[in-house]
């Protein structure tokens, strides 16, 4: 499973990247706002640091303007994936930008039918938002599972990028279902290392070790 980091905070991406945990990065207008950085500058910095796809999102709402913005974002670096919303205009922009040889990430996906349309429009990635479905008492994981089945039924190559991941359980379930990629905030990726029995076991080992009076170095 590929791990993308869902943030525009360069330091946090660098920390995980140094551990080999980063296969790509996703950003969106809200994350750019939180970073306080200029979109072109921060996206370039991230794209230079990370080997894999770095998603940068358009903000226009009509297809022609999305395409123009997408072309500009794609020029930032070779590893930019242009992110477009799952609207009819976004699907049109996806098709044009894909045919021009760009990676396209279709975002704000909340139904299997939307995901089917994105695959037909040639999307490189489809981003179903798990947490936001859970927020309204729907089942985000069921959507990941439905899209997996539909894409496998017909051999679509669009990669399922499980997004709006808020918990380690979302990450685990996405991996179990077979999402190709998950994008998660750095905090969630770090939390995946945590287990109460690991802490307890380590504590016991260290206490016993102290009793031996030995040192390794």
Active site residues: 83
Residue 83 φ then ψ, to 5°: -105, 125
Q: Which of 166, 168, 180, 192 binds ligand G3P (CB under 6 A)?
A: 166
Residue 170 CB, nearest distance to ligand G3P (Å)?
A: 10
Span of 69-77, 111-119, 126-134, 204-212 interacting with ligand G3P by CB under 6 A: 126-134
The reply on whether position 163 binds ligand G3P by CB under 6 A is yes
Only segment of 79-87, 110-118, 145-153, 160-168 that touches ligand G3P (CB under 6 A): 160-168
Complex with ligand G3P: residue 96 or 165, whichever CB lies closer: 165
Q: What share of the chain is helix, strand, coil (3-state, %, to 5)?
A: 55, 20, 30
Q: Is 131 in the site for ligand G3P (CB under 6 A)?
A: yes
| Listed ranges 139-147, 158-166, 168-176, 203-211: which one lies at the site for ligand G3P (CB under 6 A) | 158-166
CB contact at 8 A, 79 and 51: yes
Q: What's the distance, CA 166 to chain centroid?
A: 12
Is position 190 an interface residue for ligand G3P (rule: CB under 6 A)? no
Closer to ligand G3P by Cβ: residue 132 or 190: 132
26 lines the binding site for ligand G3P (CB under 6 A) = yes
* Residue 175 CB partners (closer than 8 Å, separation 6+): 1, 182
Q: Applying CB under 6 A, does 164 fall inside the site for ligand G3P?
A: yes
DSSP class of 136: T
Q: How far is CA 80 from CA 43, 73, 101, 167, in A?
A: 9, 7, 11, 27
Which C-beta is closer to ligand G3P: that of 96 or that of 164? Answer: 164
Q: How many residues does the chain have?
A: 217
Name the site residues for ligand G3P (rule: CB under 6 A). Answer: 6, 26, 28, 129, 131-132, 163-164, 166, 183
């Amino acid at each position: 499973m590929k791990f993308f980091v869902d943030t525009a905070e360069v330091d946090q991406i660098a920390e995980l990247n140094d551990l080999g945990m980063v296969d790509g990065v996703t950003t969106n207008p809200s994350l750019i706002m939180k970073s306080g950085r200029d979109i072109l500058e921060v996206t370039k910095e991230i794209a230079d640091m990370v080997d894999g796809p770095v998603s940068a999102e358009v903000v226009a709402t009509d297809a022609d303007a999305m395409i123009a913005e997408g072309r500009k974002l794609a020029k930032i670096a070779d590893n930019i994936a242009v992110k477009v919303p799952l609207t009819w205009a976004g699907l049109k922009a996806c098709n044009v930008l894909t045919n021009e040889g760009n990676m396209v990430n279709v975002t704000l996906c909340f139904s299997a039918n939307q995901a089917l349309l994105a695959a037909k429009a040639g999307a490189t990635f489809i981003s179903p938002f798990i947490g936001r479905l859970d927020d309204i008492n729907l089942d985000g994981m069921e959507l990941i599972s439905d899209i997996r089945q539909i894409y496998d039924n017909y051999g679509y190559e669009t990669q399922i990028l499980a997004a709006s991941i808020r918990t380690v359980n979302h990450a685990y379930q996405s991996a179990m279902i077979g999402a190709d990629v998950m994008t998660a905030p750095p905090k969630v990726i770090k939390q995946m290392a945590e287990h109460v029995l690991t802490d307890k076991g380590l504590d016991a080992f260290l206490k016993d070790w102290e009793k031996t009076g030995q040192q390794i170095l």
